[in-house]
Structure 1
Amino acid sequence: MHIEKTDIEGLLVLHLDVHSDHRGWFKESWQREKMVAAGLPDFRPVQANVAHNNEAGTTRGLHAEPWDKLITVGTGRIQGGWCDLREDSPTFGETVTVEVGPDTAVFVPRGLANGYQTLENDTSYLYLVNDHWSPDSAYVNVSYKLIDWPLEPTNVSAKDEALLLDAPPVPPRRVLVTGADGQVGRALRRVLPEAEFVGRADFDVTAPPARNWRQYSAIINCAAYTAVDAAESDRATAWSVNARGPAQLARIAAANNLTLVQLSTDYVFDGQSDRPYTEEDPVSPLSVYGASKAAGETAAATAPRHYIVRTSWVVGEGKNFVDTMRELAERGVRPQVVHDQKGRPTFADEIARGIAHLLKAEPAYGIYHLTGAGDEVGFDELAMAVYTGRQQDPDMVQPVSSGHYFAGKEHAPRPSRSTMSTAKIEATGFVPQNWRVGLALYVL
């Protein structure tokens, strides 16, 4: 068995092994392990259908249904015909035809209008689809006359006869972004403007509302309980949002063949490493917040298609350390800032850009560290850089120890070193921006 590409991207012809003897023949019309290894998308079919056709020349289509399908024949032969109706496809409007017999199957991606003509009497057309048929689904159909059929079309349904040569394009499957009002969620609006963005008020990750999930391609979970100190006493809420939420989304992703992107944090580490943390290092959180995020990582990893994106010191639209220091600089305040917590800031736009890269490039699933590039600094040095950027004397920043700063305050323990290696994501082709460049652009 081998797979051949066609002139339409994603439309694949499978040349099947047919075993014949005096009794007849046998073939594997669907064998997930072998076919995926050979290059077929792992499209996870949920329904099998058979359309039997009595006469040669019977013509059906062209129908662009909201699912992927794998077609073949049980008896007889067909001429398959397809037209690319996918929005923004480089081959939009192009057609391809393939003769399909017992030794052939064709994978038809969502957004291609599909039709066929029987070449023999008593032809059985078999197909697998990865969504259940529903009268409420969106269908886009176009005239069968777009295809140059080998026989005079017969037995064409009235509905197919009425179809026009022009049809509206089929939009792609959607990306759902939770936590849309957070720093990364807001940055993703600029990078993925066609995605669907939901906030806490309309989408509770701990009890996700019903959706036609087969019409989505990915979930990016930016929803999180991020009040690090409050989590020490509000444990149930932190665990519900940060651990139970990703578990719920992972179940949805696994059941519907979606990619789950889970945003995580440097707080899953204890900060005792003498080198930047890699994705293979064991987690050892110090706080309730860190433990709940580590549990969320474990839950997200149960989705077969997952990216866990760990980041640190996020700076974007919303409450963040850099904005606080900028405001203090403009007011001429001399702040006390800890010097013994070290790491690298990460701008939300960079995180959004990295997430979009992972979804497009589709490297191996797993954990990726995504932080700003450049030198490791303490919070005091970062504050000084902000003061310098606002034309204030950096010596106004007063470095203090964490013990001094938090003395007498209710607080969660924090990792003393949060620096993470970005070598793994860089190997996929994504190069993080140096945080100093990002800061200069941000504070101007």
Structure 2
Amino acid sequence: MPIEFSKKLTAHDTPIPGVVLYDLPVHGDNRGWFKENWQREKMVTLGLPDFRPVQNNISFNEKAGTTRGIHAEPWDKFISVATGRIFGAWVDLREGPTFGAVFTAELDASQAIFIPRGVGNGFQTLEDCTAYTYLVNDHWSADAQGQYTFLNLADETAAIAWPIPLDQAELSDKDKNHPRLADVTPMPPKKTLVVGADGQLGKALRKLYDGDSSVEFAGRAEFDLGSDEAFSARNWKNYSTIINAAAYTAVDAAETPEGRRTAWAINVTAVARLARAAVDHNLVLVHVSSDYVFDGSAKVHTEDEAFSPLGVYGQTKAAGDAVVSVVPRHYIVRTSWVIGDGTNFVRTMASLAQRGIEPAVVNDQIGRLSFTEDIAAGIRHLLETGAEYGAYNLSNDGEPQSWADIAGDVYELSAKPRDAVTGVSTAKYFEGKAAAPRPLNSVLPLDKIQAAGFQPRHAKEALADYLAE
């Protein structure tokens, strides 16, 4: 059957999520033909994942009827025919609702197909001297074979209609003995690693992902961000995503010699290690930023505002953001005034209210609270929806308030008089104290993350829920 020349590069979805069939432009004349088998820029523009192939393999098959598979390897594959023609069969062997889904198609040299990790690949040659090529994004090794998932070519559930009956085809003994679908252990998804999992945000992420075996949590004891050995010892091939919930947040202590060193070690040096792992292994890196990367002089701080930190803490957070921004697949989630499971402003005010203390609270710093429950939910939304990579502001919604306003809300919700709270300026509050400079305006507009489909709760609703708990 002759190859169809001059097709337009076109993508066709299939019943298996992530499996995409491509028509390839083939240019021919009296000498033969030429095609761009893999062209990163054009194919990524068309929607093919930028899966960063590292190895190209060719299977040469001497006779029509040669049948191979069904093998699901722990890497992505871009498959095409160099010469000849095949009948391809692909079965979803990943954990999930599409386990067992089947797609078949005949391919010649004018077509290619992208097969994600965990989808079983099998084919049967329809012509003699057929060459079948694999472009893969991990290096083959004998150890990797232990992570394969196999399905029998003759499985009755998949019911693949092989053009040449299997009893007349050329098969290996190994392929004949693979398990039926009922006996196949599905390939689990790659994992998400949450580092800094014992802090306020880490605890919220633990609660949100409770029961999800694909999410792994590591506190300082399980993963030391300051250790090169911790990074080199981990098999990053088993992961797709890192969520960095670790940070040094002692704003005032960061101004001391010891605090400065610690802030830079955790907020910058450790982040650079995470960024290097993400770049080397094509991982998504989620990093949590702060309103302190700005000096507070703008009315609102959009995601693309230039950094202007006032103190050491803000400087280290800005440096960490700059490092993460060069990771091709990253989310920088910028928050303000974080409240979660741990010592924080709301708990302090609630305690003062219960003890009948009438505090003086700063009234010229303006912003919104960011409850860790909402930050965690926003992170999950960005990851699950595949939102465009980049920076996103994420606080709770509602009218911006001062710390004194929020303290008044806490007192009212604690059945105490609002006027027990006295407002004072930042300058007055810190007079005579060793304190880091603070931005007076920390308002983060939420337009971008709302446009991505996530709506944080109103801050007052979240505050009432938090105090009720």
Instruction: Give the TM-score, by structure 1 length.
Output: 0.96
Taking the TM superposition and a 5 Å limit, the aligned residue runs for 1:92-171 are 92-137=99-144, 138-146=147-155, 147-153=160-166, 154-166=169-181, 167-171=184-188
My pick for the range that moved more, 431-440 or 360-369, is 360-369
The question of 1:289 aligning with 2:313 is answered yes
Q: Deviations over 1:174-207 (max 9, x none)?
A: 1111110111111112333431111122223343
- Structure 1 CA distance for aligned equivalents of residues 465 and 199 of structure 2: 20
Q: Are the aligned partners of 1:3 and 1:14 in contact in 2 as well (CA < 8 Å)?
A: yes
Task: State the Cα deviation string for residues 120-146 of structure 1 (Å, max 9, x = none).
Answer: 222111001111223333111111113
Partner of 2:465: 441
Please list, as runs of the form range in 1=range in 2, the aligned pairs for 1:294-373 lying within 5 A after superposition.
Answer: 294-373=318-397
Q: 2:440 corresponds to which letter in structure 1?
A: S
Deviations 1:380-436 (Å, cap 9, x if unpaired)?
111111111111122222322222322222211111111111111111111111100
The answer for the alignment partner of 1:7 in structure 2 is 15
- The C-alpha deviation readout for 1:52-78, integer Å capped at 9, x for no partner, is 112211111111111110111222111
Which residue is equivalent to 1:398?
422
- String of CA shifts for 1:81-132, please: whole Å, max 9, x gaps: 111122123x321211111111111101112111111112221110011112
* Alpha carbons 1:175, 1:216 under 8 Å: kept: yes
The 1-side partners of 2:388 and 2:151 are apart by: 37
1:242 and 2:267 are equivalent in the alignment? yes
CA distance in 2, matches of 1:73, 1:356: 39
SS at match of 2:240: strand
Structural RMSD (CA): 1.4
Is 1:247–1:296's contact at 8 Å kept on the other side of the alignment? yes
Cross-structure match for 1:261: 286
User: What amino acid is the match of 1:285?
Assistant: P
Whole-Å separation in 2 of the counterparts to 1:364 and 1:401: 40
Q: Report the Cα offset of residue 222 of structure 1.
A: 1.1
> Can you list the C-alpha shifts for 1:350-394, whole angstroms capped at 9, x where unaligned?
001111111122232211100110011111111111111111122
What is the deviation of 1:262? 0.9
Mapped partners of 1:222, 1:102: distance in 2: 47
- DSSP 3-state at the match of 1:128: strand
Letter aligned with residue 29 of structure 1: N
Point out where structure 1 has 5 or more consecutive residues left out of the alignment.
Answer: none
SS in 1 for 2:270: helix
Partner of 2:5: none
User: Once structures 1 and 2 are overlaid, which stretch shifts more, 203-212 or 362-371?
Assistant: 203-212
Report the TM-score when normalising by structure 2. 0.91
Name the SS of the counterpart of 1:26 in structure 2: strand
Q: Measure how far apart 1:24 and its partner are.
A: 1.6
- Local SS of the residue matching 2:350: helix
- 2:143 is paired with a residue whose SS is coil
- Which runs of no fewer than 5 residues in structure 2 stay unpaired? 1-8
Please say if residues 55 and 118 of structure 1, whose CA atoms lie closer than 8 Å, have aligned partners that are also in contact. Answer: yes
What is the aligned partner in structure 1 of residue 74 from structure 2?
66
The amino acid of 1:87's aligned partner reads E
Letter in 1 for 2:143: D
User: Quick check: 1:48 aligned with 2:61?
Assistant: no
Instruction: Pick from 163, 170, 192 the counterpart of residue 209 of structure 2.
Output: 192
Secondary structure in 2 matching 1:73: strand
Instruction: Note if 1:204 corresponds to 2:224.
Output: yes
Q: Is the 8 A contact 1:337 1:405 kept in 2?
A: yes
Q: CA deviation at 1:254?
A: 1.8
Which residue identity lines up with residue 282 of structure 2 in the other structure? N
1:28 is the counterpart of 2:23:
no
Q: Which amino acid aligns with 2:189?
A: P
Query: Which secondary structure state, in structure 2, belongs to the residue aligned with residue 253 of structure 1?
Result: helix
SS at 1:145 equivalent: coil
Percent identity reads 52
Cα distance in 1, alignment partners of residues 42 and 344 from structure 2? 49
Which of 409, 424, 430 is the matching residue for 2:448?
A: 424
| Separation of aligned partners in 1, 2:434 and 2:243 | 33
Matching of residue 214 in structure 1 with residue 237 in structure 2: yes
Deviations 1:308-366 (A, max 9, x none): 11001111111211111112222222222211211110110100111111112223221
Check conservation: 1:250, 1:301, Cα contact below 8 A: no
CA contact (8 A) 1:192 1:356 kept: no
The alignment partner of 1:92 has SS state of: coil
Alignment partner of 2:408: what SS?
Answer: helix
Q: Distance in 2 between matches of 1:179 and 1:128?
A: 36
> What letter corresponds to residue 197 of structure 1 in structure 2?
F
Structure 1 stretch 101-110 or stretch 157-166: which is displaced more? Answer: 157-166
